[in-house]
A and B are shown apart, each in its own frame.
Chain A
Amino acid sequence: MTTPLLSLQGLTKAYPGVVANDNVSFDIGEGEVHALLGENGAGKSTLVKMIYGLVKPDSGRMLLRGQPFAPPEPRAARADGIAMVFQHFSLFDALNVAENIALGMEDPPPMGSLASRIREVSETYGLPLDPYRTVGDLSAGERQRVEIIRCLLQDPKLLIMDEPTSVLTPQEVEILFETLKKLRSEGTSILYISHKLEEIRTLCDHATILRLGKNVGECVPAETSARDMAELMVGSALQTPERASRAFGEVALDIIGLSVPSPTEFGTSLRNVHLTVRKGEVLGIGGVAGNGQDELLGVLSGEILTEADAVKMAGQPVGRLGPTARRRLGLLSAPEERLGHAAAPDMSLTENALLTGSVRENLENRGFLKWAEARSFAERIIEAFDVRTPGPENAARSLSGGNLQKFVIGREVLQNPEVLVVNQPTWGVDAAAAAAIRQAILDLASKGAAVVCISQDLDELMEISDSFAALNEGRLSTPRPTAGLTVEEIGLMLGGAHGMEVAHV
């Protein structure tokens, strides 16, 4: 057997109170696309940070082509041919593309020749990019190209990609995969981190699965079913949300020809949006972030006021009503941004429960707060949605992202809404908890509530929604029944690949 490119042997890293990686070992071969699978908090990020020299292992060692490898800092790792595309892009908004790329290189050439090399590489790999554009103006897909080209210019031996497709449209994903396959054929190894199993099955040669910091199994993804991999990740049988077949009732929410300018400078204005949701129906709205999702949620929740007739709830105009008045009528919403929008970070869970629940749960008495009731409401949410926290007196900030998400969604679901609007309900939540949240949304719909679910996760929308519409540059496509929609059709509804093309060579 040939020497693997990178061999990890017994890597262990502990942080106070948690062992992030416990004796993890695996090999990455030359020219192999190796998947690293795991739930949130399984220790994937810590592991790649050790390979990239950002974190030092407590014990264990790494071998690069048989030689001991212990990078003290990212610079050393880059010098040894290791490059990384980060999950949260590590880009500088105020600088241009060429400057951003120069920052990630050891010996950048002068700007002029760097710019021409960027053009060269971007054309070879089908990732068009203008070196002099300011990064702050680029779309998510284009920003990712900046990161990838930054890595490619250093001629890496191992390319680490941390959740690269979470912000891309299906077509953009396809183009990214073409680029990665071309890299593999040139002998570059890729360590691909994701929890999207279908992607891993189409792309990766080998997979290592982490659970709670331990290596719990390896497999060849093409020969393993997605369900088996998911169960290895979760450690138990996975429940798929069930939807009871149900009849839709009357129209619960109605938007006709709504155009609203965005309240923020860089937001997207809504243009001529039509939308109808009936009782018992789940309407899924897909689209890449920044295409008007926040504005649509604002219009529905009452944060953005419109003409009275533009938004109707069960035939009654509500366009001029603010969020509290709409809550009284039964229109509840859970925005995407958890800390600062859906929840006040430094306030306790009880206080946060009060903030949106006071109207419908009757937690207020002539301006005075009913603390006991508020506390028991918070406890009910924690209980029903399995929020992992020592108690409702803890600050919202102290919860992990996934746990806070469960709390935020649970808080609205338990208030028995007539219409529920959620944006990215399972963002950053692990598979088991995501399934629980989706089930709760479906249960709510089967009890007769209308649900509008805005999400970037198409698999999620296919799973829970009855009809699907795409939001693209502030325009909403005509909703179509979800049953029978193919990925290609959805991709076209989402507005294509934003000018991307498949690798030429």
Chain B
Amino acid sequence: MDLSQINPVLLVASLMVAATPLLLAAIGELVVEKAGVLNLGVEGMMIVGAITGFAISVETGSPWLGFLASAIGGALLSLLFVLLTQVALANQVASGLALTLFGLGLSALLGQGYVGIKPPGMAELDIPVLSDLPVVGPILFGHDPILYLGIALTAAVWAVLKYTRVGLILRAVGENHDAAHALGYKVVRIRILAILFGGACAGLGGAYISLIRVPQWTEGMTAGVGWIALALVVFASWKPWRVLLGAYLFGGVTVVQLNLQAAGVAIPVEYLAMSPYIITILMLVILSADKSRAPASLGRIFHASH
């Protein structure tokens, strides 16, 4: 066992990378749930985003186009959820589960020709002087742009929900859709936009795994991150900064346990592998002990006739 080979600076830098897919997917789902919709299809939208992003960036040679395509792919899949739950008024839980199963199958089909290929890389941020600083440089200024997008998105979602009228209306729709309708707000339209945003974010998160984190395509490579994202939103009490905190915690424990495995610590691998899930959930359960609660209309179907 040799713990000295673990470099703390690299550890922090890589935990941010490990956390980003989770953060992107969870922040999208947070907006969806704030609008009163429970979309359990996050895993499906992530994996579809992962393969569309991978395929497009391999075909075009541009990771930027790949990420754009992954957002579109995730949003397109969520459109299916829109049709089921907002137009046909189907049950949201069942529709979300179906979406995940469908997404997993579809991505396997689309990805058949892409196994074993290496995607084009995305240049990391390189700011003269700043990126070369010791410790701070690799942690704050040495990442790919999408990682910063994830943090920016968290800040933006927080600010929009808290300070803007759009955010207020979105929360109102999630809180009491009948009252929002009575005041003349377009409940269904607002929810559709929220679902599409959630789909695009999940798609981006998936592509981050296949293009940057791993980077390659294998079937089912999102490996449950979508489900963790769903749990994260709940345990983070629907608060954006707590989602960020939870995601980084999860990423951190993941990276640490990988390092411990590599260092040959005498703990069975299975325990190490499950530790990120347990620690994240435990931490967030403690944090969510305050009285904040779910949007009151979450998961309820809205009929405009009432």
How far is A455 from B179 in the complex, measured between Cα atoms in Å? 27
B169 near A54: Cβ-Cβ < 8 Å: no
Chain A binder among B128-136, B170-178, B248-256, B268-276:
B170-178
B159-197 vs A, CB cutoff 8 Å, 1 = contact: the mask equals 000000100110110011011101111000000000000
B175 near A95: Cβ-Cβ < 8 Å: yes
A103 near B183: Cβ-Cβ < 8 Å: yes
A53 near B179: Cβ-Cβ < 8 Å: no
Min CB distance B157 to A, Å, is: 17
**6 more CB-based (< 8 A) A-B contacts, given A73-B184, A93-B176:** A78-B184, A94-B293, A95-B168, A102-B165, A102-B168, A103-B172
5 contacts between A and B (CB under 8 A): A73-B184, A91-B176, A94-B296, A95-B171, A103-B185
Cβ of A99 under 8 Å from chain B: yes
Cβ of B119 under 8 Å from chain A: no
Partner of B184, one of A53, A89, A93: A53
A253-283 vs B, CB cutoff 8 Å, 1 = contact: the mask equals 0000000000000000000000000000000
Contacts of B168 on A, CB cut-off 8 Å? 95, 99, 102-103
A8-42 vs B, CB cutoff 8 Å, 1 = contact: the mask equals 00000000000000000000000000000000000
A90 near B178: Cβ-Cβ < 8 Å: yes
Within 8 A of B (CB), among A456-479: none
Min CB distance A256 to B, Å, is: 36
Within 8 A of A (CB), among B109-167: 165
The 3 closest A-B pairs by CB, nearest first: A74-B184, A90-B179, A92-B175
- Mostly helix, strand, loop or mixed at chain A's interface? loop
Cβ of B41 under 8 Å from chain A: no
Min CB distance B162 to A, Å, is: 10
A86 near B182: Cβ-Cβ < 8 Å: yes
B182 near A90: Cβ-Cβ < 8 Å: yes
Min CB distance A265 to B, Å, is: 10
Interface size on B, residues (CB 8 A): 17
How far is A95 from B171 in the complex, measured between Cα atoms in Å? 9
Most buried by B among A74, A91, A92, A95: A92
Within 8 A of B (CB), among A34-57: 53-54
Cβ of B246 under 8 Å from chain A: no
Cβ of B205 under 8 Å from chain A: no
Min CB distance B167 to A, Å, is: 10
Cβ of A104 under 8 Å from chain B: yes
B34-78 vs A, CB cutoff 8 Å, 1 = contact: the mask equals 000000000000000000000000000000000000000000000
Contacts of A99 on B, CB cut-off 8 Å? 168
B262-306 vs A, CB cutoff 8 Å, 1 = contact: the mask equals 000000000000000000000000000000010110000000000
B175 near A93: Cβ-Cβ < 8 Å: yes
Min CB distance A126 to B, Å, is: 25
B172 near A92: Cβ-Cβ < 8 Å: yes
B184 near A92: Cβ-Cβ < 8 Å: no
Tell me whether A54 and B172 are in contact in the complex, defined as CB-CB below 8 angstroms, given that A94-B293, A108-B165 are known contacts. Answer: no
Contacts of B172 on A, CB cut-off 8 Å? 92, 95, 103
How far is A104 from B168 in the complex, measured between Cα atoms in Å? 11
What residue of chain B has the Cβ atom nearest to residue A102's Cβ? B168
Cβ of A75 under 8 Å from chain B: yes
A339-359 vs B, CB cutoff 8 Å, 1 = contact: the mask equals 000000000000000000000
B165 near A94: Cβ-Cβ < 8 Å: no
Contacts of A92 on B, CB cut-off 8 Å? 171-172, 175-176, 179-180
How far is A467 from B260 in the complex, measured between Cα atoms in Å? 77
Contacts of B296 on A, CB cut-off 8 Å? 93-94
Min CB distance A423 to B, Å, is: 25
How far is A75 from B183 in the complex, measured between Cα atoms in Å? 8
A94 near B183: Cβ-Cβ < 8 Å: no
How far is A94 from B184 in the complex, measured between Cα atoms in Å? 19
A94 near B182: Cβ-Cβ < 8 Å: no
How far is A94 from B168 in the complex, measured between Cα atoms in Å? 11
Contacts of B179 on A, CB cut-off 8 Å? 89-92
A90 near B183: Cβ-Cβ < 8 Å: yes
Tell me whether A75 and B182 are in contact in the complex, defined as CB-CB below 8 angstroms, given that A91-B176, A93-B176, A102-B168 are known contacts. Answer: no
